[in-house]
Chain A
Amino acid sequence: MRAESVAKFLGVAAVVVLLPGVYLGLVWAPPDALMGNVQRIMYVHFPSWLATGAGYLIGFVASVLYLTRREPRWDWWAEAGIEVGVLFNCTGLLTGSIWGRPTWGVWWTWDPRLTTTAIMLLIFAGYLVVRAFVEDPEARARVAALVAIVGFADVPIVYFSVRWWRTLHQPQSSPETVDPEMVVALRVMFLAFLLLFGYLATRRYLLARTRWETERRLLELEAARG
Chain B
Amino acid sequence: MDNVAFLAGAYALAFVGIVGYAWSLNRRLRRARAEAEALSEPRSEQR
Q: How large is the interface on A (under 10, 10 to 19, 20 to 34, 35 or more residues)?
A: 35 or more
Cα distance A211–B31 in the bound complex, in angstroms = 10
Minimal Cβ-Cβ distance residue in A for B15: A44
Q: What are the residues of chain A within 8 A of B7 when measuring CB–CB?
A: 26, 37-38, 40-41
Asked if B35 CB lies within 8 Å of chain A CBs, one says: yes
Q: A37-B4, A40-B7, A221-B39 are in contact. List 16 more A-B contacts (CB 8 A).
A: A26-B11, A35-B3, A36-B3, A37-B7, A38-B6, A41-B6, A44-B11, A87-B21, A91-B18, A98-B9, A200-B25, A203-B22, A203-B26, A210-B32, A210-B36, A218-B39
Interface 1/0 per residue, A82-106 and B, CB below 8 Å: 0010010011001100110110000
In the complex, the answer to whether A203 meets B25 with C-beta atoms within 8 Å is yes
Chain A, 188-211, CB within 8 A of any chain B CB: 196, 199-200, 203-204, 206-207, 210-211
Q: How large is the interface on B (under 10, 10 to 19, 20 to 34, 35 or more residues)?
A: 20 to 34
Chain B, 25-42, CB within 8 A of any chain A CB: 25-26, 28-29, 32-33, 35-36, 39-40
In the complex, the answer to whether A48 meets B6 with C-beta atoms within 8 Å is no
Q: What are the residues of chain A within 8 A of B14 when measuring CB–CB?
A: 44, 48, 91, 94-95
Q: What are the residues of chain A within 8 A of B45 when measuring CB–CB?
A: none
Whether A207 contacts B40 in the complex (CB less than 8 A), given A40-B7, A94-B10, A94-B17, comes out as no
Min distance, Cβ B9 to any Cβ of chain A, angstroms: 5
Top 9 closest pairs, chain A to chain B, by CB: A38-B3, A98-B10, A210-B32, A95-B10, A41-B10, A91-B14, A44-B14, A214-B36, A207-B29
Asked if A213 CB lies within 8 Å of chain B CBs, one says: yes
Chain A binding surface SS class: helix
> 25 interchain pairs (CB within 8 A)?
A37-B4, A38-B7, A41-B7, A45-B10, A90-B17, A91-B17, A94-B14, A95-B10, A95-B13, A95-B14, A98-B6, A98-B9, A101-B6, A196-B18, A199-B22, A207-B28, A207-B29, A207-B32, A210-B29, A210-B36, A214-B32, A214-B35, A214-B36, A217-B36, A217-B40
Whether A211 contacts B32 in the complex (CB less than 8 A), given A44-B11, A87-B17, A91-B17, comes out as yes
Q: What are the residues of chain B within 8 A of A40 when measuring CB–CB?
A: 7
Among candidates B6, B15, B18, B29, residue contacting A102 with C-beta atoms closer than 8 Å:
B6
Min distance, Cβ B7 to any Cβ of chain A, angstroms: 5
Minimal Cβ-Cβ distance residue in B for A41: B10
Minimal Cβ-Cβ distance residue in A for B21: A87
